[in-house]
Amino acid sequence: MPPFELCVNSDLSQLARISEFVSLSARRAGVAEADVYDIQMATDEACTNSIEHAYDGDTGEVRICCWVENKDFVVRVTDFGKRFDPDKVPVPDTKAPLESRDIGGLGLFFMRELTDGIEFHSDGEKGNQVILRKRISRAE
């Protein structure tokens, strides 16, 4: 499968278009239907973070690229805004009562839970990248 790429403005109104693009690309790659939802949700979280935080309210570009690598369906989300350091996001205590939990941090938690691998890269020329991997397990 050759890579497919979608470039959009960093606007929350683009999330439905991104979701449709990722789900269509995943299905074309042979991703099982139950896993399509997982990679779609993880990508939605990554894109929402880029849109809401990378450009500090200004408009920028978000690129979504999908391809198959070995037995993984891969989605790379790229922005050219401020750098994101995932190590600065505390791991949420999902067992604590709701009223005592901190706000935020669940997006990254869900991305990790919904995928089979996640990487973060930041480079002045290549931008900030979140790479999500979902193992392709074809439906029987």
Query: Using one digit for the tens of pLDDT, what is the confidence trace for 62-107?
Result: 999 999 999 999 999 999 998 876 666 556 555 555 555 555 556 7
Beta strands in the chain (DSSP E): 4-9, 61-69, 72-79, 117-123, 127-135
Looking at residues 109-118, what average pLDDT do you find? Answer: 90
Q: Give how many domains the chain has, as a whole number.
A: 1
The length of the chain in residues reads 140
Contact 46, 132 (CB under 8 A): yes
Backbone angles phi, psi at 95, to 5 degrees: -95, -10
Contact 62, 23 (CB under 8 A): no
pTM (predicted TM-score): 0.84
Contact 63, 50 (CB under 8 A): no
Residue numbers of the domain that contains 88: 4-135
| CATH code of the domain covering residue 34 | 3.30.565.10
Residue 64 covered by a domain: yes
Residue 140 covered by a domain: no
Residue 35 covered by a domain: yes
